[in-house]
Structures are given as structure tokens and as C-alpha cells.
């Protein structure tokens, strides 16, 4: 990947906030893919999110649902940007991430699932 294409990947990613993520999940329009590590996900995650750790990231294994688009989430919005870039490099159409991630969700007192 060239510096220019990497810059385009980074700048064209849409930052979603907590309210947008909640609304889109309630409407069934997105699959929220949590790219934190398994122990982080098990300790607490956004209800309805699916685990796909960045350390074992395989864009081919991402969920495929023509009715819902993928939105990446992590702890604070850093790993989700990286996951989106990797998915795009593999030809996946991903344009959004949850910029505040799980830390924002938790701080707002939103419900959390624990495994």
C-alpha cells in the first residue's frame, strides 16, 4: 500500500458516535464487529457485537450480510481504524467505525454483556 492510498483509507473512514451506533444496531442496519482481544471482549462488550480480534484478523472471515453493513469497534477507536484499513485492503466495503469504542459506551452507562 502506498502512502497516498493509506492516507485515503484513513481519511475516508466515517466516525460514528454512540447514539448513531445504538440507533443503527436497533434498526438492524449494522453488524458491530469488536476487534479487541478475546479477554477484553469476554470482560465486557456491547450487546449484539461480534468478536473478531485484530491479532487474528482475517477480512475474509468477516460476517457477510447484504442487509447490514460492518462497523468496527474497539476500546477507544484506534484498532477499529486499523481493522477498517485491513478490510479495505482485502476488498471489503467498510467505511465506518465507532470512534469512542467500548470505553465511551461504558462511560455513558450503556448496557454491557459479560461472558
pLDDT tens across the length of the chain (115 residues): 334 344 444 458 999 999 999 999 999 999 999 999 999 999 999 999 999 999 999 999 999 999 999 999 999 999 999 999 999 999 999 999 999 999 999 999 999 999 9
* Residue 65: inside a domain: yes
Report pLDDT for 4: 37
Smallest CA-to-CA distance from 88 within 96, 100, 77 is with 96
Q: Is 1 within the bounds of a domain?
A: no
Beta-bridged to residue 16, according to DSSP, are 98
Q: Residue 2 has what pLDDT? A: 39
Q: Is residue 100 part of a domain?
A: yes
25: left (phi over 0), alpha (psi -120 to 50) or beta: alpha
Do 102 and 46 form a contact (C-beta atoms < 8 A)? yes
Structural domains in the chain (count): 1
pTM higher than 0.95 for the full model? no
Return the CATH number at 101: 3.40.250.10
Supply the residues annotated as catalytic.
74
Amino acid at each position: 500500500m502506498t502512502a497516498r492510498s493509506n492516507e485515503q483509507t484513513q481519511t475516508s473512514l466515517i466516525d460514528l458516535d454512540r447514539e448513531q451506533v445504538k440507533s443503527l444496531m436497533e434498526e438492524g442496519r449494522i453488524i458491530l464487529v469488536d476487534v479487541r482481544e478475546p479477554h477484553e471482549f469476554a470482560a465486557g462488550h456491547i450487546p449484539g457485537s461480534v468478536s473478531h480480534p485484530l491479532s487474528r484478523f482475517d477480512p475474509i472471515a468477516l460476517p457477510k450480510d447484504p442487509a447490514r453493513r460492518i462497523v468496527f469497534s474497539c476500546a477507544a477507536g484506534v484498532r477499529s481504524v486499523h481493522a477498517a484499513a485491513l478490510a479495505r485492503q482485502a476488498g471489503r466495503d467498510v467505511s465506518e467505525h465507532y470512534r469512542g469504542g467500548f470505553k465511551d459506551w461504558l462511560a455513558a452507562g450503556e448496557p454491557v454483556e459479560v461472558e
